[in-house]
Amino acid sequence: MTNLQIFLDIATEAALAAGAVLQGYLGKLEGAIIEKGRPGDLVTAADKASEAEILSILRRHFPQHSILAEESGKLGNQDNQYLWAIDPLDGTTNYAHQYPAFAVSIGLLVDGVPQVGVIYNPFHDELFRAATGLGATRNRYSIQVSEISDLSKSLLVTGFAYDRRETSDNNYAEFCHLTHLTQGVRRSGSAALDLAYVACGRVDGYWERGISPWDVVAGVVLLQEAGGKVTAYDGSPFNIESGRILATNGKIHDQLSHQLVVVPPLSMWK
């Protein structure tokens, strides 16, 4: 077995264990929901318990690896070439309302490059896995991106950052603009699932601002292994620290990139 296959298998073990934790807490939070700062940025006992389960498994197998986790921050030697990016509950607001769009996301960067990704939605028991050169799967069956090549025939998905009330750079103009140009734009509330859904062809493209590395590392690997494309809004190389991502089936990528660049600000809309 290659190192990437081993990493993928351990990440899968951790994601499934964390998913079981989330299932156990679902609908039983009993008011144990806290806002971390901005309105809507929630953390629950389930987030923390899920993360603790993931950290336990990763540390047992890879004690020298560095970790970037949403709730715990940076752990271990951050100079190590292996960095795990962990979101123990992507879609906490959905989860707190028992809305079935949430997931565990575990990604691995090797020398700064996303190489392994596992996304698990325990509510629907959907397990997405990928590693560089090993392909992408949903529940062990191969997946690939859609064949849609015309933006006007596409279905997109996006999200809105927690600071949307505080800045004019809030994705509202982009959402309105692209809703007019496509067959629709959805908002799931989980960046990890958005990327997984592009990878398996349920939607054709995704963009968002205000994201963190733990939101997208796993999904980037999944999408690329499924034949998709990931860049910055303007088509330049994707920077994991930029907070912005454009991810598509590759066939509508240039069209969507162009529209994100030329979108008029909200002040110009009638």
**How far are the Cα atoms of 40, 203, 211 from residue 64, in angstroms, in the given order?**
35, 38, 27
How many Cβ atoms from other residues are within 10 Å of residue 264's Cβ? 10
56 within 8 A of 69, measured Cβ to Cβ: no
Please give the annotated binding residues for Mg(2+), written as ranges.
70, 87, 89-90, 215
Residue-level pLDDT at 233: 97
Domains of the chain and CATH, by start: 4-142 (3.30.540.10), 151-268 (3.40.190.80)
Tens of pLDDT, residues 20-40:
999 999 988 765 666 565 555
Q: Is 256 helix (H, G, I), strand (E, B) or coil?
A: helix
DSSP states along 95-162: HHTT-S--EEEEEEEETTEEEEEEEEETTTTEEEEEETTTEEEETTEE--------GGG-EEEE---T
Q: What is the pLDDT of residue 44?
A: 84
Question: Residues at the annotated binding site?
Answer: 70, 87, 89-90, 215
- Report the chain's mean pLDDT, rounded to a whole number: 93
Q: Please report the pLDDT score of residue 269 as a whole number.
A: 67
Per-residue model confidence as pLDDT tens digits over 122-179: 999 999 999 999 999 999 999 999 999 999 999 999 999 866 667 767 899 999 999 9
Regarding pTM above 0.95, the answer is no
Token code pair at residue 83: 């960095």
